[in-house]
Amino acid sequence: MSANLVLLENESQFNLLPFTLTRSAADIRIGILTIREKWERISGSAITIIKETEDQSDNAPYSIPANLIPDTSPASSKDILHSDHRRLQHPWQIVEYNDWAIRQDFRLLTENRISQQVPETVIITNPGQVFIEEGARLEHCYINASEGPVYIGKDALIMDGAMLRGPVSIGESAVVKMGACIYGASTIGPHCIVGGEIKNSILFAYSNKAHHGYLGDSVIGEWCNLGAGTSCSNLKNTGGKIKVWDMHRNTFKKAGNKCGLLMGDYCKSAINTSFNSGTVTGICANIFDSAALTPKFIASFSWGILTGEQYLLEKAISEIETWMKFKNCTLAPEQKIVLENLYKAL
């Protein structure tokens, strides 16, 4: 494979909103790694991302859509364009493909490596499908890898009484709080803090669902915080197809029978918020004052549900910076520019 692998930003930048408001499709986390990180590992080189309209003549012959998730098995990586890949066309497919993606990444990350020893205080089923990175701490917890692998990232903390049922990925420096129930296929991204019940969901990075409440068939972006008691519906009472708001085309599309919350970056929900099935939020929404279930779409920079007001840009950025200080991070200048441009486009 060429040393210079090019990923093309195509129509997926619009089809995968709200997650591509603040990132390339290649930086979506699915499985254990982001799409970009998968390509870096199987190609052995840094990745170049260009827009599909840009001149590709000076780039590598392998120009691959940024929303293409590679099959990371060694055999297929020799012929990437004909491998058993998946292509993200809709945001809810991040959930639908996560089981497959965790298994792919687990093999990629752990092949020919030795896991850290499982502590004696951990009750474990099928230990051969559990991999613990250096520095991870597991305290009197339960891990069942009989139906899929469980990956515990570097310096992660799994507290007392937590129950993990694979396939599950716990990212670097993430925290799973006491008594948490994590069902497959779930990805808890780097530096996230989670508690309560989570099923078939992905948290990208630096987000918190630290308290009791249910999150199912959902995707949560970066730097989000779900207040105590926040829950989402992932199934209609009728059991029918769930309608999801298409932010680009301003219309509803039908997803599957199960779809929970699709939340863009930098959003926060008040305690006991109840999200409707298939709810989509933009970015930087401060979600509170909902009398019952939230509306199906919550726009970027919303200040509450009923107020009709916008989250002022200066206030939003100030409070993002406050949240970042909790995890010893700062808002990069280029991230601030992205937020300013999105605010101006409202």
pLDDT value at position 292?
84
CATH architecture, domain defined by 123-344: 3 Solenoid (2.160)
pLDDT value at position 1?
44
Give the residue among 38, 29, 39, 34 at the shortest CA–CA distance from 4.
39
pLDDT value at position 118?
93
Distance CA 136, CA 134 (A): 6
Domain parsing of the chain, residue ranges: 5-89, 123-344
Distance CA 295, CA 317 (A): 25
Distance CA 311, CA 97 (A): 33
pLDDT value at position 2?
46
Here the tokens at position 302 are 């919303």
Tell if the pTM clears 0.95, that is, is over it.
no
Give the residue among 120, 178, 190 at the shortest CA–CA distance from 152.
190
Distance CA 190, CA 169 (A): 10
Instruction: For residue 251, give the H/E element and its range.
Output: strand 251-254
Distance CA 160, CA 290 (A): 34
* Average pLDDT per 10 consecutive residues for the chain, totaling 346 residues: 75 95 97 96 87 56 83 62 81 97 96 95 97 97 98 98 98 98 97 98 98 98 98 94 96 95 98 97 95 92 94 97 96 96 95
Distance CA 188, CA 207 (A): 9
pLDDT value at position 57?
46
Distance CA 215, CA 95 (A): 12
